[in-house]
Amino acid sequence: MTNSYFPHITLPQSRREFLARSGCGFGALALAGLQSKAHAGQLPRPHFAATAKSAIFLFMEGGPSHIDTFDPKPELNRLAGQQLPASYGPVMTAMGEANAPLLESKRSWKQYGESGIWVSDWLPYTAQCVDDIAVIRSCWTDGNSHSAGVCQMNTCSMLGGRPSLGSWVTYGLGSENQNLPAFVVMQDGRGAIVNGPRNWSAGFMPANYQGVHFSEGSQPIPNLDSPEGIPAAVQQEKLNLLASINTSFASQFPQQTELEARIRSYELAFQMQAAAPEAIDLNQETAATKELYGFNRKETESFGRQCLLARRLVERGVRFIQLYHGAGSRWDAHNNIESNHTQLCAAMDQPVAALLKDLKQRGLLDETLVVWGGEFGRTPMSEQGNGRDHNPTGFTMWMAGGGVKGGQTIGTTDELGLRAVEDRLHVHDLHASILHLLGLDHMALTYFYKGRPERPTANEGAFARKLVGG
């Protein structure tokens, strides 16, 4: 094939031809090696026996207050109204130096389950599931702003451009259902998620590893149904023509992974027209199941639909699902935290607990890792008199299922809940642990970019063995 701009140069017509003609043909050896591994079932595959087959990440966007949900601090209430003790040294928050008085927690606390884990009255439904949950009270991160914090919690870096956790999982493990996306993202409400698609981007990896965004409502996948009056054969002919044009162009410009991803997206979209309508049809669920997820209450119906859909997708082999609750940083309670968190907890608590119970009763919790948390926590100091500022130095997340030992708390923050002090787990450690439970070694999972091996945790982090009782 000739190039219209340089007619004396003949362009290769396929990737295989391109590799065969590059570097005296040595490029084709790499292709042959990849093909042989794929045919032998070696690519992709986990590095060791996994305890989880899939993951659901429940992301509370904006940063929920750990000291009002899972990490009670009696000393905070005793010192309420006073300044932070001088022993803490200088403390900087998102809004500047922290010189505001300490703000008491107005929550009432109880111990739940056989494990006796403390949970506040804001989360009565989740409290019923604590024996299946490992509460991690010692998380910390680097980003003090929403953009940096959300980016790091998704990609392990405060700077954009790196692949998201879901993309690494998809790259490392592939999909168990070729008719549905391997990585799905959903959000409640119509608020703009901080950083937007960058959070589920594939970064420097091929674009086909990025997440697929499902919309809210009864039709989460727009334009899924075939147009009325268009026979399947006619539509197939159109897709074949489009594929031929795209493939021809892609063979000339193999470095453009976006086009390759688009080709695959069209192929997947056609396959989804048969599989996805059944997968997203919540009308197949019983009235009791819908009530369990809170369909009968206005405040829980939206997130309940997404949690139930997440369960249905896991059943059908979707590898990584991320649900954003409070989209638009609605958990960001700089003022009036009582009203803010009361409303958000009421909307989130029942659906999340329903997801855990539903997975468990169907025998899916053992192989499904559920992760809950935001980009950071909140400060013990007050802001605007009745709110709390961002706190990246100590906050709570929890994990359940997928081999995690429930009914335990891991790590501690100091007596006021400002800083993680025992068994501290950075975001790098959290990602390394999630990958480990899915059978992936975060240091062995590599993607070569610009001549260097890139790893999901940027060469940092370690598996938190206490998650599995180690």
- Find the helix packing angle between 165-173 and 427-437, rounded to 10°: 30
Would you state the pLDDT for residue 15? 46
Contact 82, 98 (CB under 8 A): no
List the one residue out of 419, 370, 365 whose CA is nearest residue 396: 419
Per-residue pLDDT at 247: 79
Predicted local confidence at residue 31, as pLDDT = 42
The pLDDT of residue 98: 63
Structure tokens at 431: 């990602």
| Ordered DSSP codes for 360-404 | HHTT-GGGEEEEEE-S-EEEEEEETTTEEEEE-SSEEEEEESTT-
Residue 82 confidence (pLDDT): 96
For residue 195, which of 183, 206, 203, 184 has the smallest C-alpha distance? 203
pLDDT tens digit at each of 470 positions of the chain: 444 444 444 444 444 444 444 444 444 444 433 433 333 334 578 999 999 999 999 999 999 999 999 999 999 999 999 999 999 988 877 766 568 999 999 999 999 999 999 999 999 999 999 999 999 999 999 999 999 999 999 999 999 999 999 999 999 999 888 889 999 999 998 789 999 999 999 999 988 899 999 987 666 776 566 667 777 788 778 878 877 887 788 777 776 667 776 666 666 666 666 677 888 899 999 999 999 999 999 999 999 999 999 999 999 999 999 999 999 999 999 999 999 999 999 999 999 999 999 999 999 999 999 999 999 999 999 999 999 999 999 999 999 999 999 999 999 999 999 999 999 999 999 999 999 999 999 999 999 999 999 999 999 999 999 999 97
Q: Using an 8 Å Cβ cutoff, are 132 and 403 in contact?
A: no
Q: Are 134 and 398 in contact (CB under 8 A)?
A: yes
- 41 residue type, one letter: G
- Predicted confidence at residue 348, as pLDDT, reads 98
- Residue 117: C-alpha distances to residues 105, 120, 132, 374, 443 (Å): 18, 10, 11, 20, 33
CATH architecture of 47-221+280-468: 3-Layer(aba) Sandwich (3.40)
Q: What is the pLDDT of residue 382?
A: 95
User: Which pLDDT belongs to residue 21?
Assistant: 45
Tracing tokens 């609605």 back to the chain, one arrives at 330
Strand 420-422 relative to strand 412-413, pairing: antiparallel
Sequence spans of domains, the chain: 14-43, 47-221+280-468
CB-count burial class (<10 Å; 0-12, 13-18, 19+) for 298: exposed
Q: What is the pLDDT of residue 45?
A: 83
pLDDT value for 128: 98
Spatial distance between the Cα atoms of 355 and 123, rounded to a whole number of angstroms:
14
At 46 the pLDDT is: 92
Q: What is the pLDDT of residue 8?
A: 43
